[in-house]
Amino acid sequence: MNPRSTKELITPSGAKVVVYDYVTGGEMRKIQALFVGTLTAGDLAGANPMSKVPATIIYEAQNLALSLLIVSVNGETKDAYQLAQNLKPEDLDYVIAEIDNLTSTITLPKKKLPESPQSI
């Protein structure tokens, strides 16, 4: 198994935060589960089920994404998530914005599955 690629972020105050540069399928499902866990099957059939998701779920999803994607802070790998939480607010906001870019494609499950390339 190849190690997952990473990228280094330099925060406004100069902290070095290394993050994985993509979200795995399993990680995506964990983040999606936060959103879906607040809905019912009837909600999913509605026009805009995300309108029923509590806003606090966004913070929970960001924290989960941070814990899954941060590799190190200033070279320290142990407790990297907590080290990131201890950054200055503008530095943590910078890291969150980068993580949000990585997870911005995460949406609720679709009703119709795309066709497999083999079935075309």
Q: How much is the pLDDT for 57?
A: 80
Residue 61 pLDDT exceeds 60: yes
Q: How much is the pLDDT for 111?
A: 47
pTM, two decimals, is 0.74
- Strand segments, DSSP code E, in the chain are 6-10, 16-20, 70-73
Every domain of the chain and the residues it spans = 6-111
Q: How much is the pLDDT for 85?
A: 95
Q: What are 7-33's pLDDT values in tens digits?
A: 999 999 999 999 999 999 899 889 888
The greatest distance separating any two alpha carbons of the chain, rounded to the nearest whole angstrom, comes to: 51
Mean pLDDT rounded to a whole number for the chain:
81
